[in-house]
Structure 1
């Protein structure tokens, strides 16, 4: 207390000066029209800048929620377009009048929107981490898709997070086919470009063209048929010369992946459970 008293006594003239300055400013701007208008205009300009900066900050931190809402809305709209397209085809009898959107293949399935919180594209075995887990209904072996095509397969889950094995992994082998041609093979990644993968074992008698689309075949127990994977951009001969090897430009940009949807296909999961039960039964008999 004694120190405070000494401080006030030592610098009391400065406090008096500041007080008089404040009083003079108030009198100046309150009783002089021109000075008052200048102060009012300047104060409004400063407060406007402050409010603008505050709004920009709030908008930035709300982008994640906006992206999630947009993903859910896009999936809903794409499913709705598919339903309307089917009704239009039935009414007109013309199956070419409207093309299926990318996400139409998951119409009728429950989709769980999720956000990518960790991702890599420069390793031999990449992983993706999602901000949704078992508490949200996600289980291992569920398919994961983005707004432009396939992403990967759920590998492990905790209560609030999921690990996905993407197409960009040496452990990824996804059954696929050439859209409209019927020829199928398995998609795999060679560990190099994150924009390209390969489909092997396309038979030599197969008829297809460059830029034909590659989609999921539906033969696996994970993805329904027709989900876009990419397009053929180059064709090679297999090492034994008995088949073709196709380079595929992936439709999903894994370097810019933010929002995805996990596909809860109950029919596919039931099929997977039956297959696993059969495999375990055969294994037990052999033992």
Structure 2
């Protein structure tokens, strides 16, 4: 304490000078507007610089958090882009498929696009599962087609899925005709090659040649007429010699099957039921 008092006593003139300077400055800035405004302006500039430096330092040390936020945002945006891209791709694929299918004599029919989620081709009785069911309008016995031709017939349908009996199933039996010839038969698959099937019961008097196209006949409630089935590659005699058996290269590549359309056959079924009722009525009148 003694040393402190000696120090203050020795340098008291400097402390008095600083005190008088402070009093003078306060009197000057309070009593004179111009000097006061200059002081506060200078002080504001200095304070502004200090705040600017503080802001930059704070921003620098906050870069880690900002980068994390930007990364999370980028991940979210990328996921949204992927979702939108997938939707656009699916919409484009559906539009292309619908255009291809409608070109196969299906203009005017309601078509239900679907994805193949399960498909076998190596069994004797293959099955296909699609991702659409009764909630989408799919019903038992509706026809199923691809962008190239016939696929099969709906066998079972739940709310959101359906099982198809494809051409590559020994239980499949589809009425067909030789395009522009008028002769018809029934499409069967005996196993073996997945790109070949047979049309049986073609009459002996039928006139056709290799390379002719086979299409659906429209003689059932399942498929309208004119949907592509395949192309005649070989001609055989039936076992009893009373008809021809045609070996047909299938238009649909079942090994690459991904997108299909279910054909809403409600109107076709109604027409066939009316036709059958008319036939039954005629038969009854003939019996009378």
Q: How much has 1:265 moved relative to structure 2?
A: 2.3
* Counterpart for residue 70 of structure 1: 92
User: Partner residue of 1:17?
Assistant: none
**Residue matched to 1:113:** 113
Write the distance in 1 (CA, Å) between the matches of 2:236 and 2:190: 15
* Count of residues in correspondence between the two structures: 213
Unmatched tracts of structure 1, length 5 or more: 1-29, 31-50, 79-100, 279-287
Rounded Cα–Cα distance in structure 1 between residues aligned with 2:182 and 2:111:
27
Task: Give the structure-1-normalised TM-score.
Answer: 0.65
Could you tell me the TM-score, scaled by structure 2's length? 0.65
Q: Which residue of 2 aligns with 1:250?
A: 250
Structure 1 residue 68, shift from structure 2 partner: 3.6
Aligned partners of 2:191, 2:135: CA distance in 1, in Å? Answer: 33
Contact 2:133 2:157 in 1 (8 A): yes
Instruction: Could you list the structure 1 runs, at least 4 aligned residues long, displaced by more than 6 angstroms after superposition.
Output: 61-64, 274-278
Structure 1 residues 164 and 182: CA distance shift in structure 2, 3 A: same
Work out whether residues 134 and 159 of structure 1, in 8 Å CA contact, stay in contact via their aligned partners in 2.
Answer: yes
Q: Is the 8 A contact 1:68 1:259 kept in 2?
A: no
Deviations 1:31-83 (A, max 9, x none): xxxxxxxxxxxxxxxxxxxx9xx979x75x878645542343125545xxxxx
CA distance in 2, matches of 1:213, 1:205: 18
Structure 2 Cα separation of the partners of residues 143 and 249 of structure 1? 20
RMSD of aligned residue pairs (Cα, Å)? 3.3
CA distance in 2 between partners of 1:272 and 1:127 (Å): 27
Gaps of 5+ in 2: 1-59, 61-73, 279-288
